[in-house]
Structure 1
Amino acid sequence: MIHATRKTLATVKPSIIHTWTSNSTGPPFMKSEEHATRFLGILDTSFMITYAMGLFISGTLGDHYNPRKMLSFGMAMSALSVFCFGFLTETYHVYSAPLYIFLWIVNGFSQSVGWPIEVAIMGNWFGKDARGTVMGVWSACGSVGNIIGTLIASHILPFGYQYPFLIICSLLFGYSILVYFQLPSAPWDIDSNSHHESDSKEKIELNRPPPLGFFRTWLIPGVISFSLAFACLKFVNDGFFFWLPYYLHDGLNWPETLADALSTWYDVGGIIASIVAGAASDRMKSRTSLIFYMLLASFVSLYVYSHSPSSYAWNAVLLLVAGFFVGGPLNMISSSIVADLGKSDKLKGNAEALATVTGIIDGTGSCGSAIGQFMIPNIQHWYGWNAVFYGFMAMMACTTVCISPVLIKERKKRNRLKAREDKALLDSDSASSDSEDDVFLSEQTTRRKAHGAQPSFI
């Protein structure tokens, strides 16, 4: 629901641009389509900057306070701010750049509560052995939300671009109430419900480990590397998220409703990748190596899609492949990897850091996304859409470089463990051989004594 609300603006951008540049009630709000496009880029950038700042804060608070209440509050505030942004301003013809920016900033802060709190809740319920599969299936929720938001918007858009905002915000607000009353954030939340309120707080404190802290969390091995990698990867993924429907409409000249429906194939690829890669990673020695190989394949998929023909079927297939190799690693890092890091063996259950780790990695990623939303419309204006796709490929290369140290370190660790196992096996074989020799000599001595002979030793 959070992602569906966020996706609505990206889906209705062509209609908003048309409304802003041809306002029938007075002078146009925007002078030209170029000005409207750049202002939308500023809105996306302001959203991602405040979203990134909010992630760092929300992640830390999520390890200190009740996750269920925080999540419900963030959902309700996001619904209200987007409702005012999309529905009220158009219904009452209030066109104001500062008001739009303010409302979208509030939405950014509100939505930042979602992901780190949700990952922390999921991490409380599921252990490491099945984490890849469970988190892989669950992390597809973002892509599912994108599809829901796109389909609702594309079907209701003919009545006016404000009505998709109304429908989706109503769903999000209603679900925030359900979360507040029905979502247990951890096993000890259920245990505490059977006790009096005074006993509940004491039990929660006993079961819940103390928070690690924001700055100490950065020192967990792998956090910095995956944070930088996620920044580059989110630059690309959010570029598709915010600009794909507009590219299909403006660059390939598809009708707006058809472009919206076509863009959902990118999210379908991300859903398939989340489930397949998550399940596969549980059976592999390293999730990082799987992500690395998928990133290498993403170069080819992005290059091929940048030269895709104007065919609906071909675009759907190529978007599916691109979503698989770009959205898949993104979902794995933001769910399974952060859960592994936040529940690291080095913490040994003595500190809670999962929400903080999620906030740090996703927050750093959102900083990269904010830069991307500022750069993409400008690159497109000066150099065209092909340059945008080459920029995407460059960022995927940076992602691969950032996770390479983690991959190398993991392989060295596995080699050391294998060497120790081989040495232990050789030592056990040697000890077994010595034991067999001692038994043989002992048997020979016993026989000689039985025949009255003196033992001889070699």
Structure 2
Amino acid sequence: MLWYRAFIFVLTFLLYASFHLSRKPISIVKGELHKHCAASTEVELHSYKEYATQSQPVKKLPNESQCGWEPFDKNNYKQLLGALDYSFLCAYAIGMYLSGIIGERLPIRYYLTAGMLASGLFTAMFGFGYFYNVHNLWFYLVAQIANGLVQTTGWPSVVTCIGNWFGKGRRGFIMGIWNSHTSVGNILGSLIAAYWVSSCWGLSFVVPGVIIALMGIICFLFLIEHPKDINCSCTPPSSSRTYMNGTNRFRVQKPNLNTKETSQSQSPEMQQLLSDNENCATSLNINMPVSEENRNGTSPISFLGALRIPGVIEFSLCLLFAKLVSYTFLFWLPLYITNVEHLDAKRAGDLSTLFDVGGIFGGILAGIISDRLEKRASTCGMMLFLAAPTLYMFSAVSKMGLEATIVMLLISGALVNGPYALITTAVSADLGTHKSLKGNARALSTVTAIIDGTGSVGAALGPLLAGLISPSGWNNVFYMLMVADACALLFLVRLIQKELGCRMDHTLFKEH
């Protein structure tokens, strides 16, 4: 059993790392799609000219060879390149809501494999524009929109799969480590894209596209969706429940137990988010309409049914603002470092990776703390509370020198990405197996998609707002980020009060 868990951990880590690996090339190739005309030379475009000579002649604008790749060689290149980002992010946000609903009605292995193969195709499609000399903006927009839609198959699928294999007892710590696949994928994608960006930028997309397609084949051959698929039980025999995930193959009848017996025999795999709260206030579940089919775990949950799970709306809105902050740093941090530290683009990009390094440690730390305290919402709230003043300090201290910037990047990355990582992994898995579902584990995909889809709306809004505000000064951008962190904390207040109040009630009861 331990070997299988380790295998699924590594496999899903690599699968989702390949998703991020295929998203990264666009940020690396932007500098090649548009160049500073004065700095361009004939040598820089030697490979393109060589290819153009061998292909059919195409009429080019006089400044095309000097300023980059048409249509991104014009003065409005910022708007055009921004359109590529927003088309992907908006398609991803919209598609995520549909992806979870579709995903829980299909076997995870088939659904994830199809998504990875399609993502490989559309990632490579962007690079085909180089080899086939395509200069139509809509070609690249369609490639980004289509890629954004099919990439939504990844997150709900891998979170559902790893949630099936790891119980709540150590879920925060395990998923904190597992969530570093995001940074690993970004780093690998940057290295691969940078290798070909100057000589043949088409390969910067084609190679990552081939990699994610190959990983899709590996997924089809080796992914094990649930321990029940190999007749391996994660729960004690006394807690017989129904487990459904994508198919109707496995059904274990749930015995009729009274409330006390059920709570005593509940396995670690089925312990849910805010379980103490549910013991303190059972009214959250009494009014939850659950059909007999849902009680047996044979019916996928509806979109509205998923929204009615206690905590889904609060955590979704919290992630919207938390992801807004994180993605603003992702898109604008290199430029900010360039302006403040007066570094070139490459050194600023390398330095900005420290924010991701801090995020890895922040995700692991958030997982450990939430496991020890058994309070997901309180852990997120504590880190969000500290993040707002830290961002103010970052805006002030980063102007004092490179050393201070490095320290603040690590601290800010940990506090900003810690709650983001915890909500998208452990919290989503907890809510997707909430006790109000009566053992229906098929809701995990829909719940994960709702939470991450709402967060993706913030991911699209953050860079857009930063672009509108930054001309008035970088301080105003940081004020916007601090307000976003405060809003994220505000949406968790009710859940934090329930967690703290319920623990206090248990303590008073034990004292008497």
TM-score (norm 2): 0.75
Gaps in structure 2 of 5+ consecutive residues: 1-17, 41-62, 233-245, 254-295
User: Which has more radius of gyration?
Assistant: 1
Residue of structure 2 equivalent to 1:389: 478
Distance 1:39 1:377, change over 3 A: farther
CA distance in 2, matches of 1:352, 1:134: 21
Distance 1:168 1:356, change over 3 A: same
1:203 aligned residue: 249
Matched, 1:43 2:132: no
Q: Check if 1:89 corresponds to 2:129.
A: yes
Separation of aligned partners in 1, 2:73 and 2:65: 13
Matched, 1:179 2:196: no
Per the alignment, residue 323 of structure 2 pairs with 234
CA distance in 1: counterparts of 2:432 and 2:28, whole angstroms: 34
What residue in structure 1 maps to residue 143 of structure 2? 103
Deviation string 1:115-151 (CA, Å, 9 cap, x unpaired) is 1111100111111111111111111211221222223
- The structure with the greater share of residues assigned to helix is 1
Residue correspondences, number: 413
CA contact (8 A) 1:270 1:327 kept: yes
| Distance in structure 2 (CA, Å) of the matches to 1:27 and 1:143 | 29
Partner of 2:229: 189
Q: Structure 2 CA distance, aligned partners of 1:176 and 1:142?
A: 17
Q: Offset of 1:266 from its aligned partner?
A: 1.2
More deviation, 108-117/24-33:
24-33
Using the alignment, how far apart are the partners of 1:12 and 1:311 within structure 2?
29
Residue in 2 aligned with 1:362? Answer: 452
Indicate whether 1:416 and 2:505 are aligned: yes
Note the C-alpha offset of 1:389.
2.3
Give the 3 Å change call, closer, same or farther, for CA 404–140 of structure 1 in structure 2.
same
Deviation (angstroms), 1:321: 1.5
- What is the Cα deviation at residue 98 of structure 1? 1.6
Report the CA distance shift for 1:373/1:309 in structure 2 as closer, same or farther (over 3 A). Answer: closer
Instruction: Give distance in 2, aligned partners of 1:258 and 1:310.
Output: 18
TM-score normalised by structure 1 residue count: 0.83
Q: What's the CA shift for 1:254?
A: 2.8
| Farther-moved stretch of structure 1 (253-262 vs 68-77) | 253-262
Deviations 1:177-225 (A, max 9, x none): 1111111111123349xxxxxxx96634669933222210100111111
Alignment of 1:203-282 (within 5 A): 203-204=249-250, 209-210=297-298, 211-249=300-338, 252-282=341-371
Q: Residues 164 and 261 (structure 1 numbering): CA distance in 2 closer, same or farther, change over 3 Å? A: farther
Deviations 1:138-179 (A, max 9, x none): 112112212222233344434344333233222212111111
Which residue does 2:12 correspond to in 1? none
Which structure 2 residues correspond to residues 109-128 of structure 1 after superposition, within 5 A? 109-128=149-168
C-alpha distance 339-254 of structure 1, shift in aligned 2 (>3 A):
same
Gaps of 5+ in 1: 193-199, 427-458
Alpha-carbon separation, structure 1, partners of 2:307 and 2:69: 51
Corresponding position of 1:29:
71
Q: Following superposition of structure 1 onto structure 2, how do residues 119-198 of structure 1 map, counting pairs within 5 Å? A: 119-191=159-231
The answer as to 2:115 corresponding to 1:74 is: yes
Q: State, as a whole percentage, how many aligned pairs show the same letter.
A: 36
Separation of aligned partners in 2, 1:46 and 1:63: 26
Distance 1:201 1:275 in 2: 32
1:352 corresponding residue in structure 2: 442
Deviation of 1:298 (Å) = 1.3
Q: Distance in 2 between matches of 1:222 and 1:292?
A: 14
| Deviates further, 398-407 or 278-287 | 278-287
Q: Secondary structure at the match of 2:169?
A: coil
Q: CA offset at residue 31 of structure 1?
A: 6.3
Q: How far apart are the structure 2 equivalents of 1:75 and 1:310?
A: 45
User: Residues 74 and 114 of structure 1 are in contact (CA less than 8 Å); yes or no, is this contact kept in structure 2?
Assistant: yes
Partner of 2:24: 7
